[in-house]
Chain A
Amino acid sequence: MRSFKSQPILSLCLIIQIITGVTLAMHYTSHVDLAFIRLYYGSYRKPRILLWSIGGFSVDNATLNRFFTALIVLHLISLHQHGSNNPVGITSNLDRIPFAPYYIFKDLIAIFLFYAPNYLGHPDNYVPANPLVTPPSIVPEWYFLPFYAILRSIPDKLLGVVAMFGAIVILLLLPILDTSRIRSKAFSPLNKFFFWIFVSNHAEEPFIFIGQICTLFYFAYFLILIPIIGYTFS
């Protein structure tokens, strides 16, 4: 059950990290100090608490390094506790194996690196930045698309942001909500079906409506369906 908790925390950390980087780039200032001094530093009176955690007077390379280190440590802790991937969900304490299959799979990345480096990129990244031109559509990385869809499908800005963060935080409630004895979806076809309804992007009409339905479904999935399915199966 503990692995349920560590994953959302890790993803939350990663998202904070990415948004930090994006904000850094979007501030259009070569002075990192200027861009971040307000966000992280707060006041000049009590700098020391933050100094330790961010590694300097402002968010900088040292901060990113610390963040990466923290992420790796968290990963290693959860790997040590729960072993490598465990798709079946049955206890795997007897079946501990080293990283084996994963370092083999990783080698496939070399093919992309050498033969299709722009495969997951977007042509817009090669157009010089121009603050006077609004791009036709926002192009977040694919793993942000669901959150972008949530943000877009709620008309109220504040509620949208709350819902977006709620989408991650709700994962923390999983240990309470999920009453199934077996974690994997492989053994529960009903659960599998509801999972696959998650799939969408573009700020045009059919997609907005689909996005709203999906957002509703996303939260309903965690708050209503998972407990019910867990109850009926066990």
Chain B
Amino acid sequence: MTATYAYLQKQSAQAHTETGETGLHAPHLPWEHHSPFKTFDHAAIRRGYQVYKEVCAACHSMDRIAFRNLIGVSHTSDEAKSQAEEFEYQDGPNDEGEMFQRPGKPADYFPRPYANDEAARAANGGSLPPDLSLMVKARHGGEDYVFALLTGYEDPPAGVEIRDGLNYNPYFPGGSISMARTLFDGVVEYEDGTPATTIQMAKDVTTFLAWAAEPEHDDRKRLGLKAVIILSALTALSVWLKRFKWAALKNRKFRFIPPTK
């Protein structure tokens, strides 16, 4: 995958002049989970969660994912519990009618970095960091786009002016994006010892986001395999049946009898 990436990156450098309103087309990468017989790379989901938690979560919310969703996917239930306990949630009211803070439970959704959209805009120069729960499904190119965006930061080419506070990224529609490059080699220290290069982190966090957008993915494919096996047996059966139904039609003979005067 790294080799493909390096090759495509070289190619895209030549295509920069074509970056228009729609952004540079994200190169297609061979994601492992795109194969019909593969599940997600769950080790990558676990690493990607770490990247999200330590890097992305500073600005981006993930409202639709709860800590309990991690159980059996990337974390054990004890681990998910301790992940949730790292955050404080408001709960209540208690017996005195007061709201109180308590440590998170697995049933809690990921905490939001900002109290509301206005606070998020105020802290980010007017731009709203979008919620990442469905991000992979909500952009053209899906995983490829997210990966290309995270790794595509570079200096603007000659002739391209970028406003203060914005950054140049050829994959972003329009070319200037509020989000600065966040993934630098070694920004995260992986617990499984994987070297945290920019590409590795981008791949892991994209896999994590792909899982978040389609948590049913593994079950879907597993069920699909069963369905295809059963349905192809049934199809064979119905083709066999069809031969009987059509026999009368296929075996008849037409004869033209000219009208007699």
A100 to B248, CA, bound (A): 14
B239 at the binding interface (Cβ < 8 Å):
yes
Q: Does B195 contact A (CB under 8 A)?
A: no
Residues in B177-228 with C-beta less than 8 Å from chain A:
213, 220-221, 223-225, 227-228
| Given A110-B227, A123-B140, A128-B131, A101-B242 contact (CB < 8 Å) | yes
In the assembled complex, the Cα of A128 lies from the Cα of B63 at a distance in Å of 12
Q: Cβ of A123: which chain B residues have Cβ within 8 Å of it?
A: 137-140, 142
Q: Mark B28-53, 1 if CB is under 8 A from A, else 0.
A: 00000000100000000000000000
Q: Which residues of B contact A93 (CB under 8 A)?
A: none
A129 to chain B, nearest CB (A): 12
**0/1 string, A96-116, CB within 8 A of B gives 1:** 011011011001001101110
A175 at interface by CB-CB < 8 Å: no
The verdict on A95 contacting chain B, using a C-beta distance below 8 Å, is: yes
| CB under 8 Å from chain A, chain B span 128-157 | 131, 134, 137-140, 142
| Chain A residue total in the interface (Cβ 8 A) | 20
Name A107's contact: one of B224, B231, B245 (CB within 8 Å).
Answer: B231
Query: Is B256 part of the binding interface, using a Cβ–Cβ cutoff of 8 Å?
Result: no
One digit per residue, 1 when the CB lies within 8 angstroms of any chain A CB and 0 when it does not, for chain B 223-260 equals: 11101100100110011011001100100000000000
* A107 pairs with B235, CB closer than 8 A: yes
Q: Please give me the residue from chain A that is nearest to B225 by CB atom.
A: A114
Distance in angstroms from A193 CB to nearest chain B CB is: 30
Contacting residue for A114 out of B137, B142, B228, B245, CB 8 A: B228
Residues of A within 8 A of B228 (CB): 110-111, 114
| A97 lies within 8 A of B223 (CB) | no
* A118 in contact with B224 (CB, 8 Å): no
CB pair B36–A97 under 8 Å, yes or no, is no
Bound complex: CA of A104 vs CA of B249, how far in Å?
19
Q: What are the residues of chain A within 8 A of B131 when measuring CB–CB? A: 128
CA distance A98 to B36 in the complex (A): 34
**A128 CB contacts on chain B under 8 angstroms:** 131
A39 at the interface (CB under 8 A from B): no
Count how many chain B residues have C-beta atoms less than 8 Å from C-beta atoms of the other chain.
26
Contact with A104, one of B36, B142, B242 (Cβ below 8 angstroms): B242
- Asked if residues A104 and B235 are in contact (CB atoms below 8 Å), the reply is yes
A104 with B224: CB separation less than 8 A: no
A113 adjacent to B138 (CB under 8 Å): no
Contact status A126-B224, CB under 8 Å: no
Query: Is residue A158 within 8 Å, beta carbon to beta carbon, of the partner chain?
Result: no
Q: Is A114's CB under 8 angstroms from B241's CB?
A: no
In angstroms, Cα B34 to Cα A118, docked, is 13
In the complex, what distance in Å separates the CA atom of A164 from the CA atom of B88?
Answer: 56
Q: In angstroms, how far is the closest chain A Cβ from the Cβ of B6?
A: 27
Q: Are A115 and B249 in contact (CB-based, < 8 A)?
A: no
Tell me if A49 counts as interface (CB < 8 A to partner B): no
The answer to whether A115 touches B242 (Cβ under 8 A) is: no
Take A110-B227, A110-B228, A115-B224 as given contacts and tell me if A103 and B238 are in contact as well, using a CB distance cutoff of 8 Å. yes
The answer on a CB contact under 8 Å between A114 and B242 is no
A127 and B245 contacting across the interface, CB-CB below 8 Å: no
Given contacts A110-B227, A111-B228, whether A100 and B241 have CB atoms under 8 Å apart is yes
Q: In the complex, are the beta carbons of B36 and A115 less than 8 A apart?
A: yes
Of residues 175 through 230 on chain A, the ones whose CB sits less than 8 Å from some CB of chain B are: none
Q: Which of A97, A104, A124 meets B238, CB within 8 Å?
A: A104
Contact assessment for B249 and A97 in the assembled complex, using a CB-CB cutoff below 8 Å:
yes
What CA separation (Å) do A111 and B227 show in the bound complex? 9
Of the residues A98, A110, A127, contact of B138 by C-beta under 8 Å: A127
Q: Which chain A residue shows the least CB distance to B227?
A: A110
Q: Is A47 part of the binding interface, using a Cβ–Cβ cutoff of 8 Å?
A: no
A89 at the B interface (CB under 8 A)? no
Q: Mark A117-131, 1 if CB is under 8 A from B, else 0.
A: 110000110111000
Interface residues of chain A, those whose CB is within 8 Å of chain B, are 95, 97-98, 100-101, 103-104, 107, 110-111, 113-115, 117-118, 123-124, 126-128
Q: What are 25 A-B pairs with beta-carbon distances under 8 A?
A: A97-B249, A100-B238, A100-B241, A100-B242, A104-B235, A104-B238, A104-B242, A110-B224, A111-B224, A111-B228, A113-B227, A114-B220, A114-B221, A114-B223, A114-B225, A114-B227, A114-B228, A115-B221, A115-B224, A123-B139, A123-B142, A124-B138, A126-B134, A126-B213, A128-B131
Could you list 13 further interchain pairs (A-B, Cβ under 8 angstroms) beyond the known A123-B137, A126-B213?
A: A97-B246, A98-B245, A100-B238, A100-B241, A101-B242, A103-B238, A104-B239, A111-B224, A114-B220, A114-B224, A126-B134, A126-B137, A126-B138
